[in-house]
Structure 1
Amino acid sequence: MTNSYYKAINWNAVEDIIDKSTWEKLTEQFWLDTRIPLSNDLDDWRTLSEDQKENIGLVFGGLTLLDTIQSESAIDALRPDVRTPHEEAVLNNIQFMESVHAKSYSSIFSTLNTKSEIEEIFEWTNTNEHLQKKAEIINEIYLNGTGLQKKVASVYAETFLFYSGFYAPLYYLGNNKLANVAEIIKLIIRDESVHGTYIGYKFQVGFNELPEKEQEEMKDWMYDLLFTLYENEEKYTELLYDKLGWTEEVKTFLRYNANKALMNLGLDPLFPDTANDVNPIVMNGLSTGTSNHDFFSQVGNGYLLGTVEAMSDDDYLIGM
């Protein structure tokens, strides 16, 4: 028989069932920002102080930068180490949705901000010391790290670094403001939850194949990287939230999500912070409850909710 030049992907012969279940989960929860009525939040926007408006703009500028990295660099970095053709298909889906996320922030900007304000936000985003530092740290790993290191960087981005930005819209949602802006954020969080657990699972598969000495070296590297990122994230958080007096609350939220990133990778939590320590208004916003959107014209984040809520802290953890 002639050797194959190129092999067709066969979804009827899946090597890793997690590939198939993740593909199904991601495609079931597909969404686009154009289906969320952001203009309905303009009345709430006008009630915010100038400091609050500035904070929202900078927060979303930072999130745009991170999602741009995830769409342009992360998946290309992960793709060479895929184990199955189905894994590559899942990564393709993730890459597209990261682009959707990045575009969604621009939809928010175009609704809430003037052209000159948007230009100022992107100028700040592209030059801020702490934002650029975390972008450089993550991207350098994507460019030069090992296959496992790249997966760690991706999980840290998805499950930890985004959350300094997510805090503000979740807080407003808990106070009955900016509901449609927060709807987009909750849809993004729902996606990132799947991305982080899936890539964390793929990391664990490779990690468990390492000799014990290399496993210990990898763990040391992972914890060192997390400390470096957290120290920078503290400074970034102070810059974003000091004016509002929210800084310490946000840092607690960051430590909680850093622990979740470690759990996605199969490691023990590093910080003492738990969900009980996080502002309950924000934790309530993290739950993916159904919005009051009209399903005939819009898609709220409650659709196909059951498949998402099945994902918990223990999802995809395989003994280490």
Structure 2
Amino acid sequence: MTEDFYRAINWNELEDQIDKATWEKLTEQFWLDTRIPLSNDLADWRKMSPQDKLVVEHVFGGLTLLDTLQSQDGMASLMKNVRTQHERAVLNNIQFMESVHAKSYSSIFSTLNTPKEIEEIFAWTHHDQYLQYKAQKIDEIYLQGTSLQKKVASVFLETFLFYSGFYTPLYWLGHNKLANVGEIIKLILRDESVHGTYIGYKFQLGFNELSTEKQAELKSWIYDLLYDLYENEEKYTHELYDQVGWAEKVLVFLRYNANKALMNLGLEPLFPDTADDVDPVVMNGISTSTANHDFFSQVGNGYLLGDVEPMNDADYLIGVDTQTAKH
């Protein structure tokens, strides 16, 4: 009989406890968009100006495209270089939830928009030069990059590039508008926090095995990539937000989250922006506590998902020597 042709995954024998802890965190957080009563936001939506509506439509169109990239190509690319069977299982979970995220935006569109408007939104995502640039840049790395470069691309996508879109629903949530749309975004944020931290941790394991020379070479590539992505993100942000006057505040939020992405990778922050510089209304929205939408049956999403704590700065430093990492 041939032995070791195919190995069964054994969760009772772990090479890395972080795999199990992440699996449990992600399954504890499981949710579906169908449990959120988006139609309750229609009254707010009808009162919004055409400019505000357009921003919402375009940011969610952009987020849909990026989540599609992450679910269709990103996780499949990372699975080619897993260190453990359990890591593959975690990435399977992440891949599914990225598909849930992408579908959630379509649920928002089908609630708030007409079929013609939805068609226009998706046409815009397929042709916007700045949105397509970052998608192409990340996808090229998924297709041609090294194992560690692919992890960097994934972390930059989930902890940095998504946030130009997240700003809008967090802003409206902070002003008691589009509360159920905001609830979905908070659930997505909670997932992305774990995704970015976990993949960043796996990056650090590989990075620490490199020679000093190879580490310096990879660091240079990482910061060059971040500069390139940020330059494009500035243009994308101005395109989206100049019409409502939010661009500069959004860029502060982006720089703050770019630093978070670097921390996920165990690297030093690049920008001077801190949480204190971000619009406090938006920062308050990052809190991952959830609302209970069904008082009588107690089956709101907060009840189903359990008590999940928000991410803090220390969570971005898994496996990092905290004496040398800058906060």
> Normalization by structure 1: what TM-score?
0.97
SS of structure 2 residue aligned to 1:300: helix
Residues 75 and 95 in structure 2, CA contact (< 8 A), matched pair in contact too: yes
2:138 alignment counterpart: 138
* One-letter code aligned to 2:188: I
Q: How far does residue 47 in structure 1 lie from its aligned partner after superposition?
A: 1.2
Q: How far does residue 290 in structure 1 lie from its aligned partner after superposition?
A: 3.2
Residues 155 and 261 in structure 1, CA contact (< 8 A), matched pair in contact too: yes
2:318 alignment counterpart: 316
Matched, 1:46 2:46: yes
* One-letter code aligned to 1:146: T
Residues 263 and 317 in structure 2, CA contact (< 8 A), matched pair in contact too: no
Q: How far does residue 302 in structure 1 lie from its aligned partner after superposition?
A: 8.8
Matched, 1:15 2:15: yes
Alignment of 1:183-262 (within 5 A): 183-262=183-262
Residues 77 and 150 in structure 2, CA contact (< 8 A), matched pair in contact too: yes
How has the CA–CA distance of structure 1 residues 167 and 92 changed in structure 2, closer, same or farther, with 3 Å as cutoff? same
Cα separation, 2, equivalents of 1:64 and 1:245: 24
How has the CA–CA distance of structure 1 residues 172 and 137 changed in structure 2, closer, same or farther, with 3 Å as cutoff? same
Residues 183 and 300 in structure 1, CA contact (< 8 A), matched pair in contact too: no
Q: How far does residue 245 in structure 1 lie from its aligned partner after superposition?
A: 0.2
Residues 293 and 300 in structure 2, CA contact (< 8 A), matched pair in contact too: yes
2:61 alignment counterpart: 61
How has the CA–CA distance of structure 1 residues 111 and 194 changed in structure 2, closer, same or farther, with 3 Å as cutoff? same
1:16-63 CA-to-partner distances (Å, cap 9, x unmatched) read 000000000000100000000000000010111000001100000000
Cα separation, 2, equivalents of 1:273 and 1:318: 21
Residues 197 and 316 in structure 2, CA contact (< 8 A), matched pair in contact too: no
Structure 1 residue runs of 5 or longer lacking an equivalent are: none
1:29 alignment counterpart: 29
SS of structure 2 residue aligned to 1:4: coil
Aligned length: 320
SS of structure 2 residue aligned to 1:126: helix
Instruction: Give the fraction of aligned pairs with identical amino acids, expressed as a percent.
Output: 68
Runs of 4+ deviating beyond 2 Å = 292-298, 300-315, 317-320
Q: How far does residue 88 in structure 1 lie from its aligned partner after superposition?
A: 0.2
> Normalization by structure 2: what TM-score?
0.95
Q: How far does residue 291 in structure 1 lie from its aligned partner after superposition?
A: 1.8
Alignment root-mean-square deviation, CA: 1.5
Cα separation, 2, equivalents of 1:68 and 1:202: 22
- After TM superposition, the structure 1 stretch with the greater mean CA deviation from structure 2, 39-48 or 286-295, is 286-295
Cα separation, 1, equivalents of 2:150 and 2:159: 14
* One-letter code aligned to 1:45: W
Residues 256 and 273 in structure 1, CA contact (< 8 A), matched pair in contact too: yes
1:180-225 CA-to-partner distances (Å, cap 9, x unmatched) read 0000000000000000000000000000000000000000000000
Cα separation, 2, equivalents of 1:139 and 1:209: 25
How has the CA–CA distance of structure 1 residues 301 and 233 changed in structure 2, closer, same or farther, with 3 Å as cutoff? farther
Structure 2 residue runs of 5 or longer lacking an equivalent are: none
1:136-175 CA-to-partner distances (Å, cap 9, x unmatched) read 0000000000000000000000000000000000000000
Cα separation, 1, equivalents of 2:29 and 2:313: 13
Cα separation, 2, equivalents of 1:290 and 1:125: 30
* One-letter code aligned to 1:298: G
How has the CA–CA distance of structure 1 residues 266 and 86 changed in structure 2, closer, same or farther, with 3 Å as cutoff? same
Alignment of 1:299-314 (within 5 A): 299-300=301-302, 303-309=305-311, 312-314=314-316
Cα separation, 2, equivalents of 1:77 and 1:292: 37
Residues 159 and 193 in structure 1, CA contact (< 8 A), matched pair in contact too: yes
Matched, 1:86 2:81: no
Cα separation, 1, equivalents of 2:128 and 2:308: 39
